[in-house]
Amino acid sequence: MADFEKTMEQYSELLARISSRKGVRELASYLEKHGLFKAPASTKYHLCVEGGLLIHQVGVAKLALKLRETLMPDKSEESVILCALFHDAHKVTDGFGNQTYDKNNTATSDRQPYFWNTKQLGFGGGHKSALLISKFVDLTQDELQAIAYHDGPFVPSWDDIKSDPYPLTLLIHYADMWSTWVIEKVKTRNFKGTFLEDLKTELF
C-alpha cells in the first residue's frame, strides 16, 4: 500500500496549506471520521475502489493548482485547494449520518463494486458538497459556486449559471474533468472489463 500512503501524504500536505482557514480542520476530521479514506470515487466508473475518492480529490487539487498558475495567478491557493480537495465531499456522506456508497460484496468483473445508498439525502451532488462544507467553513461567493457547480454542463442545474459561471467554477470543473477522463482513464485503460480491486496500487 506504499502508493496509497503517498496519496495520504499528499493529502496531508495540501490540507496543511489551508489549515489556517477557520473550520477546515473540523471539516477534514468530520469527513475522515465518516470514511474519506475508504470511499470510492464512483459506483462503477472512475476509481470505483476503496480509497478511490481520496486519490481523485488529491489529483484534482494538484491539477487545479497547475491551472491556477497559468489561468488565475491572482486567485489565492487557499481557495483553489479548498474547492478542489473537497469538491466531492458528498461522496463520503450526505452530512446527516448516511454514507454515500454501499459496498457490493458480491461484485465480479461484470457487476459494479458499489451501490448508491438510497437512504441518503436526495440532493444534487455538487450542491450537497457545498451544503456539507458550509457547515464548517464560511465559503466565499465564488467558492460556493465552484463547489456546487463543479460538474459543469453534465448536470441539469448548470442551466442556473450557464450564462455567467465564475472563473473559479470553470477552473475546478476543468481540473475535475481532465483528472477523471484523461489522467485516471488512461491509467486504468488496461483494466477495462476486469474487477478493479488492485487498481489503487496501480495508479502510480
Q: Quick one: CA torsion of 6, 10, 11, 15, rounded to 10 degrees?
A: 150
Cβ–Cβ < 8 Å for 77, 15: no
What cell was used for 61? 487539487
Taken in order of first residue, the domains within the chain and their CATH numbers are 2-191 (1.10.3210)
Give the separation between CA 202 and CA 105, rounded to whole angstroms: 22
Give the separation between CA 31 and CA 91, rounded to whole angstroms: 10
For the chain (length 204 residues), average pLDDT per consecutive 10?
A: 81 98 97 91 68 92 97 97 96 77 62 68 78 96 95 79 91 94 68 44 42
Residue-wise pLDDT for 115-132, tens only, equals: 666 676 666 667 989 999
